[in-house]
Structure formats: structure tokens, C-alpha cells
Amino acid sequence: MNVEITRLSSGLTVVTETMPHLESVALGVWIKSGSRNETEDEHGIAHLLEHMAFKGTARRSARDIAEEIENVGGELNAATSTETTSYYARVLKDHVPLAVDILADILTESAFDEEELRREKHVILQEIGAANDTPDDIIFDRFSEAAYRGQTIGRPILGTPETVKDFTPAQIRNYLSRNYTTDRMFVVAAGAVDHGAFCKQVEERFATLPRTPSATPVLETARYIGGDVREDRDLMDAQLLIGFEGKAYHMRDFYCSQILANILGGGMSSRLFQEVREHRGLCYSVYAFHWGFSDTGIFGIHAATGGDDLPNLVPVVIDELRKAAETIDQQEIDRARAQIRAQLLMGQESPAARAGQIARQMMLYGRPIPNPEMMERLAGITTERLTDLAGRLFFDTVPTLSAVGPIEQLAPLADITTALSSPGFQTKKAAG
């Protein structure tokens, strides 16, 4: 791993991985701040800021930003998540200085013009409407809202039409000054990049970033609650999500949870896919996932099926959860490890994937994690640890359920909760 790390005098951390066989560089700025860092009246402002950064600076119009990067064949984009925000580019190696200049410009000199803000609010309102019209998107928002009811971490990242309409340039600048500071930012590049030259470019162009926040950044401690949210819609299929409190990044069982999710629903060979789809034909899509955050996590099972199949689908899923708490084969662990190892190695062949991976590890652990060390962590996972974890995850916590579509035949949450502690579960409708 040819990774170099430099902490500049400004407090900004610069990390590069040189991949000399490439002609391109993926680079970006990752900020340890996302929708969780919003105050009560800022719901959606982290995402709005990400949009507004591209809408003009003191030196460039929105069109200038787009044309300058595309004139050299480059790409520029950004993303907002619950705990992070990123702005990134991909260019040929000769155009790294231009990409650094544009990224610095949009992060230090954004104009937040009133007319641009009005137009971008309208764009985001359309984005919110599109998300609400997409059942396999909205089900995850509803799920988070139920799992962390009344908390910032459970709110949709996009915000609401009411909050978005009211934002002002002053509010955006306030969020920016509170969260976009050098102690929370990482500039990362992977590909045909020279570390020394890159550090010099970053130091020159990002010199005006504030070192400390204007006020203490907001971060409300997460409290998993669990619950039930359903939306009966006239659709062709039903979207179902059943979940439980998972593990935070730094917890001992985090990697164990990743392996368990892979065994249950990580691919076509997984238990849920084989039993629910291949053997019984109860759905066209089913998978398991585990999301980690800084102080909590979510373990979930998502399925898309016909409404008439719900009474049979849910008992089968619960039965597979129960089986996971009873027995797991070593062969399943080995297959899950092999899949994770392949993902890590394949990611090293993509500068964009590698830059993102390094940035996430720097934000979470303060250093890049070598692949051999990652695999060593996975090597300590045994069948006993996995079955013990499954028992605690699925049967010792309150479940969260969200469902959208023709869900009249979906069992009440109380019945599903009871089923998770009772053998031989069948809903009344399934039995009838």
C-alpha cells in the first residue's frame, strides 16, 4: 500500500496513494459532517449546501465550473450522507492542479447567490417528490424515521419541502462555518499523483479554510427505538424492510455483523436468496445489509414481493433468522470472507473507489487500514461468534418494520415481534 499522509500547518489532512500505472487521478475533499450535524431548523441544509457549492463562486459562474472541468475531459460531483459529505473529481494526471483549484474554489468562495438558491430549491423539491414516488427509496427513509424516531439521525437527508423552501444564504454560511473546518476535512487522491506536489497545491488553494468551527458542531447521540411504519399504496409490488439495532464502526461485533449480513443475504448463494427466492419463489428481490455509524448501526432485510405473498414471506424470513442463531457453517464464513477480500482487491483497481475507501478509513479510524489487517480482523470470526451475534441481534432487540405498497396482508408488528421469540411462527392469514 503506497499511501502517504501529511497534516498541513492549517490542520488539513492530505492523503495520497500513488498508482503509477494509471494516467488519471481521483481526488476529492471529504468532510466529517452530514445530515446528523444539522440543527432542528436546518433539516436538509447539508444536502442543499452540496448543491449550492456548484452554483457559482467569486471567480466562476455555475457554467464556468461545469465547462472548465469538462473541457479537459474531467468529471466533478458530490454526495451527502448521514455523517459525511464529499466533493470529488476525476481527471487526467496533467489536470490535477485545475481540479484542486475548482474544488478549493467551490468550498472556500461559493457565492450562494439568491437567484441560484431559488432555482436550486426548486430542483431539490423535485428530487424530494421523485424520492417519494419511488417505493424502494422511500421505504428506507421511513425505516430510519421509525428506528430513530424524533432524532436527527432518522430524518431524510433531502429535508422536507417546508424546510427547504425557508433556507437563506445566511443559514447555509452558518452551517458551513460550523462544520467545514480543517480539523474535520480530508483531501484524498489516488492514481497518478505525486504526493509532494499535491500537498503544495492543496496548501496553497485551501489556505483560507477556517481551522476551528464558529460554534460547537451538533451531534446528538443516537438512541435506537424501533417501531412500525406502513403506507398502503396501489402498486404492483410490496416493499418490505425488517431491521434491528446493529453495531457501530468501532464496536467489536461490527465486522462480525458484516459477515452475518453477507451469509444471510449478500448474494445469490446467500440463505435468504436461496430459500425465499430460488426454493419458494416468494419474491423477486431479497437481501440483507448492515450499516454502521459512529455510535449505532442498523441490520436489515429488504424484500420486494407481491402483496399476496407477504403472509408466507415473513414467516420464512423469520425462520432463516432463527436458523442463523442456531447454526452457521464454516464454508459460509469462508465464502463471505472471499467475497469481502475480492471487493477490497477489486476496489484497489479503481482510483475513485480507492480514494473513497481511504477517506472513509481516515474519518473513522484516523489511518488507512491495509487489506491484510482487514482480513486478519475477519479471520478471527468463528461460527460460535456469529450464532451468538445473530441471537442477540434478532431476538434481544425491538424490531423496526417499514412497508410500502399492497400490504393489507402483512402481519401486525406485535405478531412479528412475538414470532421472533416463538418457534413455528405462522400469521393468522398465512395459516388460514
Catalytic residue numbers read 50
DSSP 373-419: HHHHHHHT--HHHHHHHHHHHHHSS--EEEEEES-TTSPPHHHHHHH
Question: How many other CB atoms are found less than 10 A from the CB of residue 122?
Answer: 12
Instruction: Give, for 68, the enclosing helix (H) or strand (E).
Output: helix 62-71
In whole angstroms, give the CA distance from residue 373 to residue 393. 26
Q: Do 218 and 38 meet the contact criterion of CB atoms below 8 Å apart?
A: yes
In whole angstroms, give the CA distance from residue 242 to residue 140. 10
**Within 273-382, where are the H helices?**
310-326, 330-347, 351-365, 371-379
In whole angstroms, give the CA distance from residue 50 to residue 131. 18
Task: Give me the residues paired with residue 288 across strands.
Answer: 301
Distance of CA 411 to the CA centre of its chain: 30
Task: Give me the residues paired with residue 7 across strands.
Answer: 13
Q: Do 303 and 276 meet the contact criterion of CB atoms below 8 Å apart?
A: yes
In whole angstroms, give the CA distance from residue 369 to residue 367. 6
Tell me the CA end-to-end span of the chain in Å, nearest whole number.
60
Complete edge-to-edge strand list for the sheet that includes strand 400-405: 227-232, 400-405, 238-245, 297-305, 285-292
Q: Do 97 and 308 meet the contact criterion of CB atoms below 8 Å apart?
A: no
In whole angstroms, give the CA distance from residue 16 to residue 298. 31
